[in-house]
């Protein structure tokens, strides 16, 4: 087990992280439907019923790592700009292919009702399985497929990092023949705990409804689902986050330590919720560089 935690509880000079874009122009971007045939629980009548993957494939002589990007938005919208496309470019700069997942959510599709649990989880699991099952086509290493999530997308990422879809080696759908377990997990100011004083209530309500039973709530309070099978995890949060309190990251970190999971956490005093790359936030602007070094140490990239 390896674990690391750093806490920056002071203001310091800003380290501006600039995303190189030259590699992006040499790659390719395609959008594919996450489900080619029937979608569990979806009637396919309107926008929002059909989740997609926006795949950013880098050019490389060797198979690369890949990552599913899960933007936040409280399970009510996708913050696809600063928590989606910006990170596809960031991963591209490191030679890592990515796929932004527009998972189903509340308020969009399903005749205006949208989707709660388990639709987002099923979509995110399938996104990981899709990259892994198409590894040869996309020039990916199937043993280096990870996930990154932000805010409510961080809850979804921690869900798929602790709850795995059943593998069916005899399935006619090749996607179902491979594991949904990510090989690494990056959680940025994540919603983790449900049913707690520091829970983000909007995310819980959108995901489970207003009257969810205690057992269901507890089953998706993801600090309780961490196990020895949880992949290596990187956490980033700020103490000043008023929307999703830092206690969410703290309880997940503690659970990872308790179960021997390789985990690293970086906390900063300053910074609002939803920082993304946080390039203009003193102190917190260091997180992206720290994460890149973590990815290097875990053999997901050689870019330095």
What is the sign of the dihedral through the CA atoms of 265, 266, 272 and 275? negative
Residue 77 belongs to domain with CATH number: 3.40.50.1820
* Number of domains making up the chain: 1
In a domain? residue 69: yes
Mean pLDDT of 250-275: 98
In a domain? residue 209: yes
Domain limits for position 216: 3-297
Rounded to the nearest 10 degrees, the angle between the axes of helix 119-133 and helix 152-160 is: 60
Mean pLDDT of 274-297: 96
In a domain? residue 304: no
In a domain? residue 223: yes
- 251 with 265: CB under 8 angstroms? no
Mean per-residue pLDDT over the chain, rounded: 91
In a domain? residue 249: yes
In a domain? residue 220: yes
Q: How confident is the model at residue 16 (pLDDT cuts 50, 70, 90)?
A: very low
In a domain? residue 33: yes
Is the link from the previous residue into 94 a cis peptide, with omega within 30 of 0?
no
- 23 with 283: CB under 8 angstroms? no
In a domain? residue 262: yes
Q: How confident is the model at residue 42 (pLDDT cuts 50, 70, 90)?
A: confident
The string of DSSP letters for the chain reads --EEEEEE-S-----------HHHHHSEEEEEES-SS--TT----STTSS-EEEEEEPP-SS-EEEEEEE--STTTS--TIIIIIHHHHHHHHTT-EEEEE----BTSSTTTTB--TTHHHHHHHHHHHHHHHTHHHHTEEEEEEEEEEETHHHHHHHHHTTS-PPP-TT-SSGGGGS----S-EEEES----SSSTT--HHHHHHHH-TT--HHHHHHT-GGGT--TTSPPEEEEEETT-SSS-THHHHHHHHHHHHTT--EEEEEES---S--TT-TTSTTGGGHHHHHHHHHHHTTS----
Nearest to 125 by CA among 173, 68, 71: 68
Question: How far is the C-alpha of 208 from the C-alpha of 211, rounded, in Å?
Answer: 8
pLDDT digits (tens, 9 = 90+) for 215-253: 999 999 999 999 999 999 999 999 999 999 999 999 999
Mean pLDDT of 79-98: 97
pLDDT digits (tens, 9 = 90+) for 208-217: 999 999 999 9
């Amino acid at each position: 087990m390896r674990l690391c935690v750093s806490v920056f509880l002071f203001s310091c000079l800003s380290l501006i992280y600039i995303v190189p874009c030259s590699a992006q122009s040499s790659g390719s971007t395609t959008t594919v439907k996450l489900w080619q045939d029937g979608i569990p629980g979806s009637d396919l009548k309107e926008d929002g019923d059909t989740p997609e993957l926006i795949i950013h494939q880098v050019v490389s002589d060797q198979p690369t790592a890949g990552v599913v990007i899960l933007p936040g938005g409280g399970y009510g919208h996708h913050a696809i700009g600063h928590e989606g496309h910006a990170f596809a470019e960031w991963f591209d700069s490191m030679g890592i292919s990515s796929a932004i997942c527009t998972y189903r959510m509340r308020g969009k599709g399903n005749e205006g009702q949208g989707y709660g649990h388990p639709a987002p989880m099923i979509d995110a699991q399938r996104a990981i399985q899709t990259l892994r099952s198409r590894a040869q086509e996309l020039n990916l290493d199937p043993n280096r497929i990870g996930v990154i999530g932000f805010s409510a997308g961080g809850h979804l990422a921690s869900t798929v990092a602790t709850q795995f879809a059943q593998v069916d080696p005899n399935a006619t759908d090749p996607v179902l023949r491979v594991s949904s377990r990510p090989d690494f997990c990056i959680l940025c100011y994540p919603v983790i705990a449900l049913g707690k004083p520091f829970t983000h209530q909007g995310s819980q309500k959108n995901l489970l409804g207003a009257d969810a039973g205690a057992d269901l709530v507890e089953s998706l309070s993801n600090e309780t689902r961490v196990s020895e099978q949880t992949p290596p995890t990187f956490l980033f949060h700020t103490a000043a986050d008023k929307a999703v309190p830092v206690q969410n990251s703290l309880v997940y970190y503690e659970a990872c330590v308790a179960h021997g999971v390789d985990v690293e956490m970086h906390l900063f005093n300053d910074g609002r919720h939803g920082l993304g790359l946080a390039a203009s936030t003193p102190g917190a602007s260091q997180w992206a560089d720290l994460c890149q070094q973590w990815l290097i140490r875990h053999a997901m990239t050689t870019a330095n």
